[in-house]
Amino acid sequence: MKAVILAGGQGKRLRPLTLEVPKPLVTINDKPIILWQIEWLKKYGIKEFLICVGYLKEKIINALGNGSRFGVKIGYVVEEEPLGTGCAIKNAEAFLRNEKDGFFVLNGDIITNLNPLELTKINDDVIGSIALVPLPSPYGIVEIDENSYIVTFREKPILPSYWINAGVYYFKPSIFDYLPEKGDIEKHTFPKLAEKKLIKAIKYKNIFWKSIDTVKDLEEASKMLSGKNVFT
């Protein structure tokens, strides 16, 4: 099976780091984000990649080449101007339309160890699935008792009652019938699929997941990954 990595964004919230380095090549513990992703998926037998590039595309292509150095095959789909994640995937249709077993798509700014193969366990009446993870609170939580006395402080806990899009998807080729010519898949495609009950949610608990949006996220991810291997 193939995996598509959406790596064309400008990473504006990571500036000035991304003024000269594309976001997928920003390093965490001396390893680029996109290489964390490739090594993770490779452990699950996924060794063919299509990388949707745009901003500073030459640097990504030069860094990864054809993938042989990493034991995988890498091809590229070039987006000359920003047209949204939906269009970025649609641009890869010629390479994926005949994928009998479907394909994976992931945002180029997440690091996780979730098992992507679980996303393929869907019924024939749907055309895709979205990985969900429990919402990590961006703030510390203060717990109080019935008399308003503070009981404890919890630093940025996981909120198990709320689920968020993990940025990892599995699609059958029929997804191309729903992708926009311009726009994001999250805004233009997913609501239509949800309305028609054509997409499923796969919940993941007790896994590592981190979205890299800001410099603070980089620092937190570095601490979380330092000194341990969450991918074994």
What residues are annotated to the active site? 156
Structure tokens belonging to residue 36: 């964390």
Structure tokens belonging to residue 166: 């993990």
Nearest C-alpha neighbor of 15 from the set 4, 24, 7, 23? 23
User: For residues 7 and 110, what is the distance between their CA atoms, to the nearest angstrom?
Assistant: 11
Residue 85 amino acid letter: T
Assess contact for 130 and 198: CB atoms under 8 A.
no
DSSP structure string for 76-87: EEE-SS---HHH
Assess contact for 65 and 76: CB atoms under 8 A.
no
DSSP 216: H
